[in-house]
A = this chain, B = another copy of it.
């Protein structure tokens, strides 16, 4: 499992899809959204938490189909399935590698990007914290969606369609936590909910994904 995790990280780094890419995409989205908006500055701080969370979510989305797709196409997923590693462990290793290469860098970069959107430093800290708690759920849910659409070649759009509705609760609670923090209100309840979703995802999704993988390889 550790080896698979290490291999996936190495592959991500080698093919230039490592830590930087998601970050830069995140940056671009964060820059583009105000451009698309009217030039009203006061509205910016108001929309900042949502925009940052949405940016993180979309950056996550774009790399989801790599998680299993590559291995499925070149046949190594078949080989992994015949190896002593259970498919649940494969799922966890891959979701963890995905999180490390996208979720974590995003969470660490968010406070800095928050500054671009007039977010206060304190709210930025909460942003970082909420992303740290929430991005594991994003990776886990996303990897689950990826197991469902394995057989669909380059089903990026279908994958997003399946995954985005599942992202709704995480997004709502995460953005709400930051929003409350930026207004100086208590933000512990939404933050705990985000954590709960992540924990719930860790508890349930490996089994669902293992089953889906097995079905797809059949």
Residues of A within 8 A of B (CB): 15-17, 21-22, 24-25, 28-29, 32-33, 35-38, 40, 43, 46-47, 49-51, 53-54, 57-59, 61-63, 65-66, 69-70, 73, 152-158, 160-161, 164-165, 167-168, 171-172, 175-176, 179
With beta carbons under 8 angstroms apart, the residue of B15, B29, B153, B176 that contacts A153 is B15
Total copies of the chain:
2
Cβ–Cβ contact A157 & B63, under 8 A:
yes
Q: A32-B57, A152-B16 are in contact. Are A158 and B21 (CB under 8 A)?
A: yes
- A-B residue pairs, 7 tightest by C-beta: A36-B50, A37-B50, A21-B157, A28-B164, A66-B154, A36-B175, A62-B156
Cβ–Cβ contact B32 & A164, under 8 A:
yes
What is the bound-complex CA distance between A29 and B33, given in angstroms?
13
What is the bound-complex CA distance between A38 and B175, given in angstroms?
8
With beta carbons under 8 angstroms apart, the residue of B46, B153, B172 that contacts A70 is B153
Q: A70-B154, A161-B21 are in contact. Are A36 and B49 (CB under 8 A)?
A: yes
Cβ–Cβ contact B70 & A54, under 8 A:
no
What is the bound-complex CA distance between A167 and B32, given in angstroms?
9
What is the bound-complex CA distance between A65 and B153, given in angstroms?
11
7 new A-B contacts at CB < 8 Å, known A35-B172, A37-B46, A70-B154:
A21-B158, A36-B172, A37-B175, A38-B176, A40-B46, A43-B47, A58-B58
Q: What are the residues of chain B within 8 A of A69 when measuring CB–CB?
A: 154
Query: Across the two chains, which residue of chain B brings its CB closest to A165?
Result: B28
Q: What are the residues of chain B within 8 A of A155 when measuring CB–CB?
A: 15-17
